[in-house]
Amino acid sequence: MSLRAVRVSVITISVAGIAGMIVGSLQDNNGITISFGLVTAVAVVYLILLTSVVGSGPPSVTGTSSDGADSEQLAQDIERRIQALADAGCDELELRRLVTQAVELGRTRG
């Protein structure tokens, strides 16, 4: 289940819980009111915990499209920057190893 689906589900449960609390209150039934209040509270706490653990979603690179058109431009820019650093005196082989490790790290976390 995606993060968005979980959030929509929790918000739906919360709205239903608020409606249940209102109905329970109008019927002077404290048991129903408290039950719906607890369900709503648990849903909101779950949403808060989920957001703090997972975050707001996977990080995205702005300006990239799913068809990869901008990824080619990004790759060319990275290659140009690597070459500029190598021309400035950096060890090109070590620099390329560093970039490779950064890509591997990104793949394991993404």
| Beta strand extents in the chain (DSSP E only) | none
Position 94, amino acid: E
**Structure confidence by residue, pLDDT tens digits, 59-82:** 555 444 455 557 888 888 888 888
Higher-pLDDT residue of 110 and 52 is 52
The torsion defined by the Cα of 78, 79, 80 and 85, in degrees rounded to 10, comes to 90
